Structure 1
Amino acid sequence: MTKKTRRRYTAEFKAAAVARLDEPGETLSSVAQALGVAATQVKTWRLEQQAAGSAEAVARRRAEASELQQLRRDNKRLQEENEILRKASAFFVRWAEKA
């Protein structure tokens, strides 16, 4: 019994195979046959790409939510500082009028 070596495919090859599925008239079977791989393998590559894309979207949404939360905190702090300066300004105006 001879041992088969496992074939390894580059990320670019996998991406190109999945991109071919979007072309008109291309099916999972036809792409797999043209590339000399199993149809299930092409399907797996497509699912992996979709999962990676959704993971990136989730990470991007989390980053945006975190940034929005930080901006809201900064905005509140700046509004409080502005209110303090407004009150101090009014105080010094009254103080200068008395003197």
Structure 2
Amino acid sequence: MPQAFPKEFREDVIRVYRDSDASMAQGAKDFGISPSCLKRWLAIDEKNSTRP
């Protein structure tokens, strides 16, 4: 099983991606992760941010 990325890295990727106009594929490539990984991180972040 691949090693998990640190929480700080995931948060930085999400922040930079949301602040940019890059496509999901390009944003993922810029950080050396797969687009599906970025999509999953964004979904998790969205789910966590909507909780009270």
TM-score (norm 2): 0.82
Match of 1:10 in 2: 6
User: With CA pairs under 8 Å and 6+ residues apart, which has the higher RCO, 1 or 2?
Assistant: 2
**Displacement over 2 Å in runs of 4+:** none
Residues 24-39 of structure 1: pairs in structure 2 closer than 5 A: 24-39=20-35
Bigger Cα Rg: 1
- Residue 28 of structure 2 aligns with an amino acid whose one-letter code is A
More helix by share: 1
Equivalenced residue count is 52
Q: TM-score with structure 1 length normalisation?
A: 0.47
Q: What is the Cα-based RMSD across aligned positions, in Å?
A: 1.4
Q: Percent identity?
A: 12
Which ranges in structure 2 are unaligned for 5 or more consecutive residues? none
